[in-house]
Amino acid sequence: MLHRSAYTPLHIFITTTHQDQETCGLKMIKECVLRFLGLLASHSGRCRTLEVDVPEVVANLTRVWIDQAPMLQKLVISTFSYLVTPQQLVVRLFSVHWDKWNCTYINQLYLGPFSKHQPGPNRAELCGILSLLSKQLRSLSILAPWQPGLKDIHYGEPIILEALTSFTTHRWNWAVEQLLLSCSFPVLEDVDVELPLGRLSSHLMLRLRDEPGLLQSVTRLSVDSIVSGETPIEQVQRIFPRANHVKLDYSLDLLHHFASHFLSNWACMDHLDLYEASLPEIREVLMTRYERYPTPLIALKLERAVGPLYKDDYDWIASHVDQFSIRKVRIVSNEVSKDIPFEGIC
């Protein structure tokens, strides 16, 4: 198959499932993947995408970035598996030669999760990678957990990530702080994050204070989860002063104190995307918000409406939002739920 496809770019995905581990065992999985990587070696120059989340084989990927994959644009590396017990993690150590990185064509880079037993790059290695990719990297993802780093580090001139427009993370762990302390982001637009941000270090707080425009180019903020925590909402607003388009993913409880407080007090928000909510919830949050900010939202998009659909709630929301749209509605009948297009029930 590899030979028949000639010079066609390759998109390679190496993953495993719980069923694979039960049926074949970890040893056989590793042997099969390593044989596949051996077959792939002579075709590495055609790799356009490479995604790997099998911890046992990550160490064998070093050849990919020693300038043998000039077409590689998207690289996803994760060594954290929920299917592996902590006891097994302890004995499966490996060493990835991050310092030999020489893959300068990548424009999408996804690193992590890692662990202390299967570490990602240290600060110097991470900065080296980002420096090589600084002109073309468009999308970056750093997911926890990550290798812990040194506390006292001297930070020189920041690395300018000239093309980076999208950044995804969970909570702001050590690696994210190193990124924010070591780089600048002149065209960053989209940030996908969990709230609260976590305990921000004194180093990072000083930089955010001294450079209030560090993340001012961010206009879209996607929030994966909101829980009560250490970072006040006012501090989050100072970090993203121009994030006027807010997207709440998954099924978030809009009436939870922190979520309601977030939406009601995000002053510059004029576009709101919700994955799932009921109309009464949306109405209550907007009523609270309009007590402080009477200017209506420009657009509110609801992916899936749940719960009761009262015309009074819909009309109230529509009259307080310039553009209000619902894509689908969750219907429950005889304990069976299904989604139907909103237009189908109008």
The string of pLDDT tens digits covering residues 261-289 is 788 888 899 999 999 999 999 999 999 99
Give a yes or no: residue 322 inside a domain.
yes
Residue 133 inside a domain? The answer is no
Instruction: Decide if 276 is inside a domain.
Output: yes
SS3 248: strand
* Residue 159: partners with Cβ closer than 8 Å, 6 or more residues away: 127, 130, 131, 134, 182, 183, 184
- List of the chain residues with pLDDT < 70: 1-7, 16-27, 29-30, 39, 41-42, 53-68, 70, 78-102, 115-118, 147-155, 196, 198-199, 226-232, 250-256, 344-346
Question: Residue 237: inside a domain, yes or no?
Answer: no
Structural domain for 249, as ranges: 244-346
Confidence at residue 18, expressed as pLDDT on a 0 to 100 scale: 54
Q: Quick one: pLDDT at residue 218? A: 95
C-alpha distances in angstroms, 91 versus 113, 165, 329?
18, 39, 49
pLDDT at residue 89, as a whole number: 32
What per-residue confidence (pLDDT) applies to 91? 29
What local confidence, expressed as pLDDT, does residue 65 receive?
55
In-domain check, residue 298: yes
Say if residue 272 is exposed, middle or buried (CB neighbours under 10 Å; 0-12, 13-18, 19+). buried
The answer to the question of residue 311 being in a domain is yes
Residue 155 within any structural domain of the chain = no
* Integer CA distances (angstroms), 176 to 129, 136, 147, 171, 289, in order: 14, 20, 11, 8, 31
Number of independent structural domains in the chain: 1
- What confidence score (pLDDT) does residue 307 get? 85
pLDDT of residue 192: 92
Percentages helix, strand, coil for the chain (3-state, rounded to 5) are 35, 25, 40
Backbone phi, psi, residue 40, to 5°: -75, -20
Q: 327 lies in a domain?
A: yes
